[in-house]
Amino acid sequence: MRQVDIDNWFTYHAPTAGQVQNYATIRDKAKELAELFDSLLPDCADKTAAVRKLRETVMAMNLAIACYVAPEPTQTVRPL
């Protein structure tokens, strides 16, 4: 584990406008899936676990958005 990773993971990252939209999209789709789980599955420990894992997945996706910035595309110069 690198110190730079620890610093990144435990630092507040203010979201950009685009990131806010991505967070909302992920939450909306996860909510749809949670509603599907609720409608199809009987109330039981496995249903609870499935919804908990879905929530964990949303959090991991949020972390990916916040903590990992896509590298700038490199521009390749071609000879004329």
H or E element in which residue 62 lies: helix 45-67
Q: What is the pLDDT of residue 18?
A: 86
pLDDT, one tens digit per residue, over 15-54 is: 988 899 999 999 999 999 999 999 999 999 999 999 999 9
Q: What is the pLDDT of residue 34?
A: 97
The closest alpha carbon to 9, from 71, 56, 59, 70, belongs to 59
The pLDDT confidence band at residue 58, using thresholds 50, 70 and 90, is very high
The pLDDT confidence band at residue 78, using thresholds 50, 70 and 90, is low
Record the pTM: 0.76
**What DSSP string runs through 25-61?**
HHHHHHHHHHHHHHHHS-SSHHHHHHHHHHHHHHHHH
